[in-house]
Amino acid sequence: MKFNLKRLIGVYGQPILIYPGTRTEDGTSNGMGEFIPDSTKDKQPIKAKEPVIPTSGNNVFADNLALMAGGTVQNYSATWYSTHDVELGTVVSTFRSDGSEKKYEVVKMDDYGPLADITIYYLQESDQHAANI
């Protein structure tokens, strides 16, 4: 038996943009060998309507931490419930009340395909590199 979460995603979704490619692999290197990811400015986004739910804020609580391999902890800013299949490093954009974009990067994912045909993505927003996304 599968859970039908696709319908709920459609009901509670918000307009988002999914930029193709990945910031962890698409890019170039500078003269010192440092990786410089490509900007999303030249990429044509995919329009979708899926829920992106922010965590409780800038404080470090259990709902905005993801356990990684080796016992490390990854902080994330939002959770995205999606029917799309994207890679780590993909940029997802939501819209603020003034119409401007708020961009996030996929840092972790949990595939619930066999159970519910969705994937839960954990998104991280960083003001330090937001201008380059």
- How far, in Å, CA of 23 to CA of 104, rounded? 11
The domain limits of the chain are: 5-132
Q: What is the pTM of this model?
A: 0.74
Taking 90 as the threshold, does the pLDDT of residue 48 lie above it? yes
Residue range 11-47, pLDDT digits in tens: 889 999 998 776 555 656 666 666 566 665 667 889 9
Assigned CATH for 5-132: 2.40.10
Q: Say if CB 55 and CB 121 are below 8 A apart.
A: no
Q: Judging by beta carbons within 10 Å of its beta carbon (0-12, 13-18, 19+), is residue 31 exposed, middle or buried?
A: exposed
Residue range 93-120, pLDDT digits in tens: 999 889 888 888 888 889 988 888 899 9
The neighbour count for residue 63, using CB atoms within 10 Å, is 12
